[in-house]
């Protein structure tokens, strides 16, 4: 079974802190994604990557950056955390292209105080 693992299930950070969310997949998938999930807004794409060192902005990239130095790992970075970044963050991966299913991690609930 494909496994997508996020480093933390719950995280509490202070305003202004630099925050790293890590995601690792074990099935050699080409694509990796970061979404945030908020009530009534669904899953909104922050960034995605279709290859090592390649990244593209999603719909809400402001205040975030990403890093993909190895194929299996995709990191989301909040440069200076703000309270409006309190949310559930979901990482996903898919084999290639846009016609294979996406596998999700268990999510990280981030609270910025």
Partner 1 sequence: GQQVMQIPQYQHVQEGEDFTTYCNSSTTLSNIQWYKQRPGGHPVFLIQLVKSGEVKKQKRLTFQFGEAKKNSSLHITATQTTDVGTYFCAGITSGTYKYIFGTGTRLKVLA
Residue from the set 21, 25, 46, 48 that interacts with partner 1 by CB under 8 A: 48
Looking at beta carbons only, is 13 or 44 nearer to partner 1?
A: 44
Q: Which residues within the stretch 27-46 sit at the binding site for partner 1 (CB under 8 A)?
A: 31, 33, 35, 40-45
Contact of 55 with 49, CB cutoff 8 Å: yes
The CA distance from 93 to 74, in Å, is 9
- For the record, the structure tokens of 23 come out as 């995601």
The answer to whether residue 71 forms part of the interface with partner 1 (CB under 8 A) is no
The CA distance from 72 to 4, in Å, is 9
- List contacts with partner 1 (CB under 8 A): 31, 33, 35, 40-45, 48, 50, 56, 58-59, 90, 92, 94, 97-99, 101-107
């Amino acid at each position: 079974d494909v496994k997508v693992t996020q480093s933390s299930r719950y995280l509490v950070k202070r305003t202004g802190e630099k925050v790293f969310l890590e995601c690792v997949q074990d099935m050699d998938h080409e694509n990796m994604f970061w979404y945030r999930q908020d009530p009534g807004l669904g899953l909104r794409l922050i960034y995605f990557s279709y290859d090592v060192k390649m990244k593209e902005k999603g719909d809400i990239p402001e205040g975030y950056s990403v890093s993909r130095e190895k194929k299996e790992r995709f990191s989301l970075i909040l440069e200076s955390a703000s309270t409006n970044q309190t949310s559930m963050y979901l990482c996903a991966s898919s084999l290639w292209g846009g016609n294979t299913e996406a596998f999700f991690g268990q999510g990280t609930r981030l609270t910025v105080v």
